Amino acid sequence: MKDRYQVVVIGGGIVGCSVLYHLTLRGMTDAALIEREELTAGSTWHAAGGFHAMNADTRVAALQKYTIGLYPQVEEESGQSAGLHMSGGMELAETPERWHWLRSELQWLRTQDTDAYLLAPEEAVDLVPILDPTGLFGALFDPLEGNLDPNGATQAYAGAARKRGADVIQHNRVLSLSRLANGEWRVETEQGDVHAEHVVNAGGLWARRVGKMVGIDHPLVPMQHHYLVTDTVPQVAAIEGDMPAVTDLEGFTYLQKEGQGVLLGVYEQHPRHWMVEGADWDFGRTLFPEELDRIMPELSIGFRRFPVLEDVGIRRWVNGAFTFTPDGNPLVGPVDGIPNYWAACGCMAGFSQCAGIGLAVANWIVDGDPGYDVFGMDVARFGPYASNDRYLRATTAQFYARRFVMAYPNEELPAGRPLKTTPCYDELESVGARFTVNWGLEVPLYFAPTPGFEENDTLGRSNAEPIVGEEVAAVRTAAGAYEIAQYARYEVAGPGAEAWLDHLLAGRIPDVSAIRLAPMLNEAGRLMGDLTVARLDGDRFWLTGSYYLQDWHLRWFRGHLPPNGVTITNITDGWMGFSVSGPASRAILAELAHDDVGNEAFGFLRIREMDVGSAGAVVGRISLTGELGYEIVVPADRHRTLLHELREAGAPSGLRLVGDRAIDSLRLEKGYGIWSAEFRQDYTPAMAGLHRYVAFDKEDFVGADSVRRARDEGPAQRLVLLEVDATDADASADEGIWVGDRRVGFVTSGAYGHHVGASLALAYLDRDVAEAAGELTVYVVGDPRTARVLPEIPYDPKGLRLRDLDA
Ligand SMILES: Cc1cc2nc3c(=O)[nH]c(=O)nc-3n(C[C@H](O)[C@H](O)[C@H](O)COP(=O)(O)OP(=O)(O)OC[C@H]3O[C@@H](n4cnc5c(N)ncnc54)[C@H](O)[C@@H]3O)c2cc1C
């Protein structure tokens, strides 16, 4: 061990070894991995070694595909076999709904360029002769599945990294981490101190403890997990080569060939946490006794699906621990306020995700950017709320138990809720609000007028759609009030504020009392935010963005902040209110405000501080519905009062409370995009139709050169609004769009446009296709539907209502 490295990776499991290898791939060979015991000594050694490319997040799925594709290269470089079996795998459908869902997943996989296909029950049995097909509707076969030898794969990564010049130091625990005055890390280890520019926490079962060494509490917890390995199963032994893995979704089990027998793993409905604070430092290669009583219900289903298991001996039980986060994806990347500390932990699917994590971390350290849209595994996607033990236990147990359970797109899951509520929560609930959750905050989805209304879980349109339709109608014909506690707000102030914002944002900085839409870019000219910037005074600005991006954005803002002259304060939880929009919205505001709020005095994209009812408010003339509208925000302690006063003032003109679903329908009628759907880190302003908000003539701003280049080249794909011939279900996200056999794009969001009476979808289409007026095919919940690009926005294309202008 040297006494100084550029990077020290803490932890020699599959993830740490992959990070080390990827650092060397990027030329960072002055790197060491420090392992407490021996390589694989955490979760890795006893894993089943299965891998798959499927992930609900398409970007994480792409990185899983990368992981699977990289193993042969790592084997070749290291000369060490990873014991790869590219067996493919199948998911079983035991209910009509699940079968429908697998058909939809098939189309999703086709969109990701995977040659998956459906199997009839007897075809599934041909491939896996020990499968009892009773009750099966069919199966989905995915060729990008298989299994490997966990130890071999880890050694292969470590060996390849060593060959490229990195050090691997074993039997040496990292005891503490401290920052030196020169910005380096002092890594105190059992074998002495090491200095490093960067440290990577790949501590697996101990990662929460390692995080606490630098003062961060990562939202991850270890949980127990069982599988069994049988003696020889003659029908399996008779198969030459590989046998596909089987996931029995309704049965909560997975099965793969293991030697001459099989391995059966269980995702039980009553999972068990273990050492929530992280494993003890001296925890060895230890397994827990099997808890058959606890897993028996799921195990018996597995034995029914594979009856031969009744007749063969069990050679080995494994009950080990691995870590989970609230959404099951890992925690990767830098942490705001802790320079040069990197998370690479919380990984529950190490053999599917190790290379994706390694690639992202190495790119991020070398380039300052992960190179891909990795928000789905970014450590900044959770706020501090997620590290609370009670919350973590509830959400991770929910994720574990539902690992194979079908998730309906409109289903709301209960774990850890309600957690954060606004002062209006009880009142909104009392008038029928049904909530979804955004970064722990309860957010109204819609308001059910009938007490006891139950929404059905469905793949198609739900029985709540008529309610959504009424809310849309209220906004289009009278007024709607939408709670906007779920917008993040940051106050930027100081003598350097304008210059800093001018550099940070690609758009023009507004004059006093004005608002502008302001795309924020990274150096590659890709989107980092679809913010609005408002100037309240000369040196005082408000930035508004997405609620769930608070940690992500603050990390970016602070990473670009000059040493002095500018302060940025997160005021999100201190200021909240309602967006009131619709033709009657001005009259409602006028009833409560003393100021002149007429079109002349208070035009579109203006902002003012004024009294609204009993509160000193900040009112912006802006709306996401395409109607005349105002965003009224007040200090949080007057949020509830504002609700009362708005409802009272709005009652005569038919003001109605509206939720997220209505906003989705309304914004699609206007073709407006939102973050995480149309606007993401992997799109450019030119693709996303945000070009007109970029001030190309500004001298210098983050991403200026790249965005100018992208403008000159023109985008390969661009955002369009589609009308889809769908009658009982609408597109949602990631559905492929085809012309014959050519995949020409994908959907980013969809909803029924209640006012215009059409199923709508925003989508990225290849430019030639976007410009031709041809017929397209979109797979909505797996079924082909014709669609066409709308030549113009279906509702108020000239934006007259928004501006309150006559035609
Ligand atoms: C029963 C079971 C079956 C599984 N099956 C699969 C499967 O089929 N497919 C799949 O993809 N995943 C599977 N997993 C999950 C898989 O094991 C994990 O995703 C993976 O091993 C995580 O790897 P890691 O490198 O993040 O963590 P770990 O393997 O836990 O590695 C962390 C390492 O860090 C070291 N360390 C920690 N703190 C320090 C310190 N202070 N100083 C020095 N070293 C330190 C530890 O000693 C350890 O070696 C399974 C897990 C279990 C329990």
589 touches 622 (CB < 8 A): no
Check if 694 has its Cβ closer than 6 Å to any atom of ligand 1. no
CA separation for the pair 159, 84 (Å, rounded): 17
Nearest to 616 by CA among 604, 633, 640: 633
Give alpha helix (H) positions in 493-616. Answer: 497-504, 550-560, 585-592
CA distance 380 to 555: 8
Residue 253 sits at φ, ψ, to 5 deg, of -130, 160
Tell me the per-residue pLDDT of 22-45, one tens digit each, with 9 for 90 and over. 999 999 999 999 999 999 999 999
> Token pair for residue 500?
């800093």
Residue 707's pLDDT band, with cuts at 50, 70 and 90, is very high
Token output for 480: 């709607």
Instruction: Report d(CA 442, CA 422) in Å as an integer.
Output: 8
Count CB atoms within 10 A of the CB of residue 377: 27
Q: Is the CB of 210 under 6 A from ligand 1?
A: yes
What pTM was estimated for this model as a whole?
0.97
Confidence band of 757 (pLDDT split at 50, 70, 90): very high
| Residue recorded with tokens 């060397």 | 24
Residue 198 dihedral angles phi and psi, to the nearest 5°: -125, 145
- pLDDT tens-digit readout, 50-67: 999 988 899 999 999 999
Kindly give the number of the ligand 1 atom that is closest to the alpha carbon of 344.
Answer: 26
**What pairs with residue 224 in β-bridges?**
321
CA torsion 670→461→249→267, rounded to 10°? 70
Cβ within 8 Å of residue 764, ≥6 positions away: 683, 687, 717, 718, 719, 720, 745, 746, 748
CB 439 within 8 A of CB 383: yes
Query: Looking at the chain, how many residues does it have?
Result: 807
Predicted confidence band of residue 597 (pLDDT cuts 50, 70, 90):
very high
- Tell me how far apart the terminal alpha carbons of the chain are, to the nearest angstrom: 75
Beta carbons within 8 Å of 399's beta carbon, 6+ residues apart: 324, 325, 326, 327, 328
Q: At CA 498, angle to CA 495 and CA 502, rounded to 5?
A: 145
pLDDT confidence tier of residue 807, bands split at 50, 70 and 90: low
Q: What are the tokens at 599?
A: 């079109």
Do the beta carbons of residue 389 and residue 372 sit within 8 Å?
A: no
Cα(684) to centroid of ligand 1, in Å?
37
Residue 213 and residue 200 in contact, taking contact as beta carbons nearer than 8 Å: no
Whether the CB-CB separation of 344 and 357 falls below 8 Å is answered with yes
Please check the confidence at residue 773 and state whether its pLDDT lies above 80.
no
In the chain, % of residues over pLDDT 90: 98
Q: For the residues 615-632, what does the mean pLDDT come to?
A: 97
Residue 573: Cβ within 10 Å count: 15
Contacts of 789 (CB under 8 A, 6+ apart): 720, 721, 722, 765, 770, 773, 776
Distance of CA 362 from the midpoint of ligand 1 (Å): 19
How would you write 586-655 as a 3-class SS string?
Answer: HHHHHHHECCCCCCCCCCCCEEEEEEECCEEEEEECCCCCCCCEEEEEEEHHHHHHHHHHHHHHHHHHCE
For residues 141 and 145, give the distance between their C-alpha atoms in angstroms, rounded to a whole number: 9
Work out whether the CA dihedral 647, 650, 652, 657 comes out positive or negative: negative
Ligand 1, atom 48: closest residue by C-alpha: 42
Place of tokens 């195990």: 299
User: Is beta strand 338-345 parallel, antiparallel or unpaired with respect to 261-266?
Assistant: unpaired
Q: Is 239 exposed, middle or buried (0-12, 13-18, 19+ CB in 10 A)?
A: middle
Hey, how many other C-beta atoms are within 10 angstroms of the C-beta on 460?
Answer: 18
d(CA 209, CA 458): 41
| Spacing, Cα 150 to ligand 1 middle (Å) | 10
With CA atoms as reference, report the closest residue to 444 among 453, 435, 432.
435
The answer, yes or no, to whether residue 806 has pLDDT greater than 90, is: no
Gyration radius (Cα) of the chain, Å: 27
Question: To which H or E segment does residue 111 belong?
Answer: helix 96-111
348 lines ligand 1 (CB under 6 A): yes
SS3 content of the chain, % helix, strand, coil (to 5): 30, 30, 40
Q: Is the pLDDT of residue 673 over 90?
A: yes
Residue 56: what pLDDT? 87
Residue 19 to residue 10: CA distance in whole angstroms: 10
Residue of 9, 155, 201, 206 to test ligand 1 pocket, by largest number of atoms within 8 Å of CB: 206
At 503, list the tokens: 């550099």
Distance 8 CA to ligand 1 centre (A): 18
Q: How far apart are CA 254 and CA 91, in angstroms?
A: 9
Give per-residue pLDDT as tens, 360-414. Answer: 999 999 999 999 999 999 999 999 999 999 999 999 999 999 999 988 999 999 9
**C-alpha of residue 322 to centroid of ligand 1, in Å:** 6
pLDDT tens sequence across 175-220: 999 999 999 999 999 999 999 999 999 999 999 999 999 999 999 9
What the block records as the tokens of 568 is 């940025």
Find the mean pLDDT for residues 705-718. 94
Buried-state track 329-355, b at ≥16 Cβ within 10 A, e below 16:
bbbbbbbbebebbbbbbbbbbbbbbbb
Residue 590 pLDDT > 80, yes or no? yes
- My answer on whether omega of the bond before 418 falls inside 30° of 0, hence cis, is yes
Percentage of the chain surpassing pLDDT 70?
A: 100
Give the range among 341-355, 645-659, 763-777 with minimum mean pLDDT: 763-777
Question: Is the minimum distance from the CB of 206 to ligand 1 under 6 angstroms?
Answer: yes
Task: Please work out whether the CB of residue 320 comes within 6 Å of at least one atom of ligand 1.
Answer: yes
Averaged pLDDT score across all residues of the chain: 97
Q: Which atom of ligand 1 is least distant from the CA of 350?
A: 19
How confident is the model at residue 184, as a pLDDT? 98
C-alpha span between 288 and 683 (Å, rounded): 47
| Tens-digit pLDDT profile for residues 269-290 | 999 999 999 999 999 899 999 9
Mean per-residue pLDDT for 603-632? 97
Q: Ligand 1 pocket, 350 CB below 6 A?
A: yes
Which band of pLDDT confidence, cut at 50, 70 and 90, is reported for residue 161?
A: very high
Q: What is the mean pLDDT of the segment spanning 517-538?
A: 96
pLDDT band per the 50, 70, 90 thresholds, residue 264: very high
Q: Look up tokens 């060729």; give the residue.
A: 143
Burial label, 51 (beta-carbon count in 10 A; 0-12, 13-18, 19+): buried
